[in-house]
Amino acid sequence: MTRRVDIYDTTLRDGTQAENFNLSVEDKIRIAIRLDEFGIDYIEGGWPGSNPKDEKFFSEIRNYSLKHSKISAFGSTHLAKNKAHEDKNLKALIDARTPVVTIFGKSWDIHVKDALRISLDRNLEIIHDSVAFLNQNVDTVFYDAEHFFDGFKADKDYAISTLKKAKEAGAKCLVLCDTNGGTLPNEISTIIDEVKKELGDNTDLGIHCHNDSEMAVANSIQAVLSGARQVQGTINGFGERCGNANLCSIIPALVLKLGYQCEAGNNLKELTSTARFVYEIANLAPNKYQPYVGASAFAHKGGIHVSAVQRNPETYEHIRPELVGNVQRILVSDLSGKSNVIAKAKQFGLDLSSDDPLVLDIVAKLKELEAQGFQFEGAEASFELLMRRASGTLRKYFDLLAFRVIDQKCKEEEPPQAEATVMVRVGGKVEHTAAVGNGPVNALDNAIRKALETFYPQLREMTLVDYKVRVLPDSPGTGAKVRVLIESKDGKDKWGTVGVSHDIIEASWQALVDSICYKLMRDEGKRQ
């Protein structure tokens, strides 16, 4: 018997409740199209009765032909003072013209008494009438039982009676919500078993969990094992407070580990790129430690681990990273041994054997540099350059003759002015240029590019996308060393480089030069 589960994404609605997570209408459209391509069954677009942005989204998304996903509009049951057919919020849901409408109602008696300030019987009428009215006007109605698990623990009979009313009115799926995120997995299974006894096995149940106890993924999976047929969550777990259930962990766990089927499960190789796409659209840095899709999810650092995974990846990987579109990474650090260096050499296309003296030289150089404060885990481009310099395979693209940076402030109320002068030699020709910038490092970046672009026009494709400075704890106060990490990109790739010095300008120069040399080396390799 095929076990199938429907995936319901609420990134565009519940996800936007997260702090610092903001999306324009255009952003929401792009994410919706990407989720459709990934195979999400239902995409909750927003609450059309709450703000003009969501109303515009529902109007705009009708201009696109989605391949698989169904768009859902979200809202609440009607106001207590209204009748269902007179309620503006319910009318707005109908006007959204979506194939699915999801509404939430109160399951916890204290919310009925203290928040709505109505009788328990009146709340039951509101749930029934709201679902029934919508059911007459839209194709599919889902009912979110808000605070259901807390409500069940407070008054089991009343919480279940709210579900019965929604079912009687025609709700296709009853979604049990752990709205405060405090329920534990053992409670999830016990309560769902009780619900099934009361409503029957033919009732479609769903699950909607928040992550306030770090249980949202576990609770969602437990709910499916207990019979839930729909899982609600968000990409990367975005959501208010501590977030929602993370679909990027739930989907591969259900498909790869438990044998469930869903359309997104057929496209699991797109999981990592989809997760990072949402981060990119939201202008947020990806969580590198995120399970399944994070850059560190399949990264190995200790020499013993590296040696083992080179022989058999199963020794330290719970799945093959390629199944979810991720990659195995071998990190280099002062914990690294020959296994790490040989593995990285293979990745970079360098032929090194374990008995090659060059391997020991690279390991020694690595440990020496990290003792000085260098860190290559986020700067693999610098490490590749280190290896190629050690092996004698890196071309010298230019020589620095001198640089100077001036940062001056002329008036208290005006920002400082930064200017950099650079003198380099490329082949037999000396280039001497100057440039201004937003701060000394930006001025230096502009000057070196200006000097080199005459010889290497492909550098115009390259941009600096991130710049980080960390003070190292080897010396007190302003005399301490600093480590500069730079992330650069062109039209195809991103790469990281590092520099360390007591002088922040010198550390920045090191990282900038490595970034430029890496770009030139890689482009040269592609032409060969």
Contacts of 425 (CB under 8 A, 6+ apart): 398, 399, 401, 431
Query: How many C-beta atoms surround the C-beta of residue 105 within 10 A?
Result: 27
Structure tokens at 89: 């919020």
Stretch (H or E) spanning 18: none
Residue 284 pLDDT: 83
* Domain ranges, ordered by start, for the chain: 6-281, 299-367, 399-527
Q: What is the mean pLDDT of residues 337-342?
A: 66
Lowest mean pLDDT segment, chosen from 311-325, 330-344, 452-466? 330-344
Terminal Cα distance for the chain, rounded:
54
Asked if the model's pLDDT at residue 349 lies above 80, the reply is no
Architecture of domain 399-527: 2-Layer Sandwich (3.30)
Average pLDDT over residues 135-159: 97
Residues 296-310: what's their mean pLDDT? 75
What would the pLDDT profile of 176-222 be if each residue is shown by its tens digit? Answer: 999 999 999 999 999 999 999 999 989 999 999 999 999 999 999 99
**CA 447/CA 431 separation, integer angstroms:** 11
pLDDT score of 528 more than 70? no
Q: How much is the pLDDT for 337?
A: 60
16-68 pLDDT tens trace:
999 999 999 999 999 999 999 999 999 999 999 788 899 999 999 999 999 99
CA distances from 514 to 13, 128, 381, 422, 476 (A): 42, 66, 8, 16, 28
CA geometry: angle 64, 204, 59, nearest 5 deg: 20
Burial class (CB in 10 A: 0-12, 13-18, 19+), 210: buried
Structure confidence by residue, pLDDT tens digits, 325-339: 998 877 665 455 666
Question: Considering Cα of 13, then 124, then 170, then 217, what sign does the dihedral take?
Answer: positive
Neighbours of 198 (CB within 10 A): 14
400 Cβ neighbours under 8 A, 6+ residues apart: 422, 423, 424, 513
Residue 246: burial class (beta carbons within 10 Å; 0-12, 13-18, 19+): buried
How far, in Å, CA of 408 to CA of 522, rounded? 37
Q: Are 270 and 38 in contact (CB under 8 A)?
A: yes
Mean pLDDT of the chain: 90
Give yes or no for residue 70 having a pLDDT over 80. yes
Among 238-247, 251-260, 497-506, name the one with the lowest average pLDDT.
Answer: 497-506
pTM for this prediction = 0.72
Fold of 6-281: TIM Barrel (3.20.20)
